Structure 1
Amino acid sequence: MSDPLKPPPGPSPKSPTSEAAFPPLPDVGPEQLTADQARDYLMSVLDYGQEEIDAKAGIIEELVDLLLPELKVVAQSIRPPDEDLKEAEALEQRFTGVAVRERDAAWLKQTGLRLDSTTRPLVPRWSAPDKVGGVLKRELFLLTDGRLVTVEAVTPWETDGGRLASRDILVGAREVTPAEVLRTFDFVATLKSLLRALFDGAAILMERNEQPADLVERSGRFFTIIAQVAMGMKESADRLRRAGDSPA
Structure 2
Amino acid sequence: RGGRLPGLIGPMLRRVDALSAQDAAGEARLLALGLRPEALTPRLNLKLLGPAQIEPGEDAPDRCRTVLAASTHEGEDAAMLDAWQAARQVEPELRLILAPRHPGRGDAVATLIAARGLDFARRSRGGGPEASLLLADTLGEMALWYRAAGICITGGSFADHGGHTPWEPAAWRCAILHGPHVANQAGAYADLDAAGGALACDAAGLPALLADLLRDPARQRRMGEAARALLLAQAGNPATLIARIAALARARPCTTP
TM-score between both structures, scaled by the size of structure 1: 0.27
Structure (1 or 2) with the larger CA radius of gyration: 1
TM-score between both structures, scaled by the size of structure 2: 0.27
